[in-house]
Structure 1
Amino acid sequence: MIRLGVIGTNWITDRFISAALSTGEYQLNAVYSRSLETAALFAKKYDSVECFDSLEGMAKSDVIDAVYIASPNSFHAPQAMQFIQYGKHVIGEKPLASNIIEVQDLIAEAQENNVVLFEAMKAVYTPNFFAMQKALPKLGKLRKVYLSYCQYSSRYQKYLDGENPNTFNPAFSNGSLMDIGIYPLSTAIALFGEPNSMTAQGTLLDSGVDAHGTLVLHYQDFDVTIAHSKVSDGVIPSELQGEQGTLLVDFVSECHGVKLHRRDEPVLDLTVEQDENAMRYEAEVFAQLVANKTVDHQGLIRSQIVSAIITQAREIIGVRFPADVI
């Protein structure tokens, strides 16, 4: 049983706690917030939870084995580092860190301290992701992949109204690539590995973060086009095209449905049943890694490739974060 602490008192933390508890592998023991009152208010729906307003206090306490980090993006790496150095396992919300240097530093520190570091990327752990992966050989020689995730941010109107919400503020390492594009990008890397090269385009807001953009990953004989946006909604499925057939994937961030279209054959629905809360599967994988003390795992390779691509893409389109200054 993993004794879990959480950083963050928002809806995504609640959703992860629900997913983690449903696996039977966790008990919630601690909640951190900058305000003890806020932590207590959040924790009151759970039993026997200790509340902290000191990160160091929770990191060095003996009431937790692992921490789930769901703070603003720019805080992910420094908070993860603090808990790693106190010997705690870390599951960090995506993105794991602001840039590739931070990711590499975290991995080195986790391995030095013999703890599990894990990026919470639900898209690549769902049953329907594996259904998609299993179906790839049925497509024949792969030629074109289009992965789309575009979601109008609930905070965009605040930005348009002249406010400065965290989600559009470079001080918090935000933007479309970091918050939205990372889902289809992680899916592509999980399916196909590191590309030979990459091109990137993005449209910047006055705040300095990207509103939307496109990545193209170039492999030996096919390419992957990734569309992402925080200022518009996408409704089309993602598509993987081969010489013998095409896969359609609904809502690539959770893989809600997978359909195989092979030439001159009936459409085959490959969708399998999966938990309504897709975070359950990443929670299960993290618990297995902790139980097996698997410090060096495949997810870290993917996280490094993804972070390196995003760091390079931001350089191309001109998105700079304070965290990038070394």
Structure 2
Amino acid sequence: MKLAIFGAGMIVHDFMKVVHDLPEIELRAILGTETDVPGMKALKEAHGIEMIYTDLAECLADETVDTVYVALPNHLHYHFAKEALLQGKHVICEKPFTLKKSELLALAAIAKEKQLILIEAITNQYLANYQAIKAQLTELGDLKLIECNYSQYSSRYDLFKEGTVLPAFNPKMGGGALMDINIYNIHFVVGLLGTPNAVHYHANIEQGIDTSGVLLLDYDQTKVVCIGAKDSTATIRSTIQGTKGSIIVNGPTNVLDSYAYEALKTPAVTIDRKVNEHRMYEEFKMFQQVIASNDQSFAEDRLAHSQRVMDVVEAALADAQINLG
């Protein structure tokens, strides 16, 4: 993979912590704004990135680049992913894929026409611990309840209350608790159970954006609660309860550091199958393999999952009467 990174924010700095564990990935370029240049120069020097660009067309014209990682603010994902696909680049796009399902479908159509890989960077779907949880679900008997709580007080919330609206709380930029952190819970659940029968979102809304909320998903006999908060905090934990046992994940659903399995009336057993300490390793290892082999079947399967997640997101936003973008 000959990679161009779009963006120079926190997620990019986090990615740089693991990219050198993936020798198949060549860092060919980084794209940002003029104000990003000092930071991009530091990243170039520290990590051996070949080129710095501030012009999208120039970056996409770089023939040494075959793949783009879109790590920009949410509202920019669609435009930059579309331009990359149109110029014949494979695209890895940070979550949330797009702000609207129609945008995701438009990107998928371009990727299919050009036989390019288009895939969402969503860590939990690729973690070995997640795959282990999926495999162990049958041991829990009939699934009754799932609760995922990802609540993390945001320093930006203080600024938001004072009148400074940054992207994380800007409805026009795809901000809010649902799109920022609860979406990890949605991916976690939809990856396990598929599309729910009903979706309801009870949100705390300030200035048109959800600062926290409770998402209810109905799967007939299985009832799901996904909590996401940026205006308050609590122990971050997920539980899956069945008639024969339970699984408890301590920590956020985008990390899945380990989990405890507890059969009925039996002491809990801690399970940890992770391959690398960094949560992004396993997804980018897979992305490299998929792009190298142009595995369209795998990419289509992952796009179908992302579309199911977007169905939940749109239903939740509509239920809470939140208008993004």
TM-score of the aligned structures, taking structure 1 as reference length: 0.94
Whether 1:177 aligns to 2:182 is no
Q: Distance in 1 between matches of 2:249 and 2:283?
A: 20
Q: Distance in 2 between matches of 1:145 and 1:215?
A: 12
**Cα-to-partner distance string for 1:256-289 (whole Å, 9 max, x where unaligned):** 2211111222211122344221011110111111
Query: Does structure 1 retain, via aligned residues, the 8 Å contact 2:151–2:236?
Result: no
Question: Amino acid of the residue matched to residue 238 of structure 1?
Answer: S
Question: Amino acid of the residue matched to residue 305 of structure 1?
Answer: R
Q: Distance in 1 between matches of 2:18 and 2:309?
A: 25
After superposition, the Cα gap between the structure-2 partners of 1:229 and 1:273, relative to the gap in structure 1 and judged at 3 Å, is same
Whether 1:14 aligns to 2:13 is yes
Q: Which runs of 5+ in 2 are unaligned?
A: none
Query: Does structure 2 retain, via aligned residues, the 8 Å contact 1:19–1:283?
Result: no
Shift of 1:311: 1.3
Match of 2:231 in 1: 231
Q: Distance in 1 between matches of 2:120 and 2:64?
A: 22
Q: Which runs of 5+ in 1 are unaligned?
A: none
Q: Distance in 1 between matches of 2:45 and 2:199?
A: 47
Q: Secondary structure at the match of 2:283?
A: helix
Q: Distance in 2 between matches of 1:177 and 1:250?
A: 20
Bigger shift: 163-172 or 11-20? 11-20
Q: Distance in 1 between matches of 2:107 and 2:113?
A: 10
Match of 1:301 in 2: 304
Whether 1:320 aligns to 2:323 is yes
After superposition, the Cα gap between the structure-2 partners of 1:32 and 1:171, relative to the gap in structure 1 and judged at 3 Å, is same
Shift of 1:20: 3.0
Bigger shift: 123-132 or 85-94? 123-132
Match of 1:161 in 2: 162
Match of 1:57 in 2: 58
Query: Does structure 2 retain, via aligned residues, the 8 Å contact 1:85–1:109?
Result: yes
Shift of 1:242: 0.5
Q: Secondary structure at the match of 1:155?
A: helix
CA-based RMSD of the aligned residues comes to 1.5
Match of 1:75 in 2: 76
TM-score of the aligned structures, taking structure 2 as reference length: 0.94
Q: Secondary structure at the match of 1:44?
A: helix
Question: Amino acid of the residue matched to residue 121 of structure 1?
Answer: I
Q: Distance in 2 between matches of 1:227 and 1:143?
A: 17
Q: Secondary structure at the match of 1:248?
A: strand
Shift of 1:42: 3.3
Q: Distance in 2 between matches of 1:154 and 1:288?
A: 38
Query: Does structure 2 retain, via aligned residues, the 8 Å contact 1:6–1:69?
Result: yes
Q: Distance in 1 between matches of 2:116 and 2:221?
A: 39
Q: Distance in 2 between matches of 1:163 and 1:169?
A: 10
**Cα-to-partner distance string for 1:191-236 (whole Å, 9 max, x where unaligned):** 1111122122111111x11111111111132121111111112215
Question: Amino acid of the residue matched to residue 250 of structure 1?
Answer: N
Question: Amino acid of the residue matched to residue 255 of structure 2?
Answer: E
Match of 1:32 in 2: 31
Query: Does structure 2 retain, via aligned residues, the 8 Å contact 1:131–1:258?
Result: no
Question: Amino acid of the residue matched to residue 322 of structure 2?
Answer: V
Q: Distance in 2 between matches of 1:10 and 1:72?
A: 9
Match of 1:199 in 2: 200
Question: Amino acid of the residue matched to residue 20 of structure 1?
Answer: V
Tell me how many residue pairs correspond in the alignment: 320
Question: Amino acid of the residue matched to residue 220 of structure 2?
Answer: Q
How many percent of aligned residue pairs carry the same amino acid?
28
Match of 1:215 in 2: 215
Question: Amino acid of the residue matched to residue 128 of structure 1?
Answer: N
Query: Does structure 2 retain, via aligned residues, the 8 Å contact 1:21–1:27?
Result: no
Shift of 1:161: 2.2
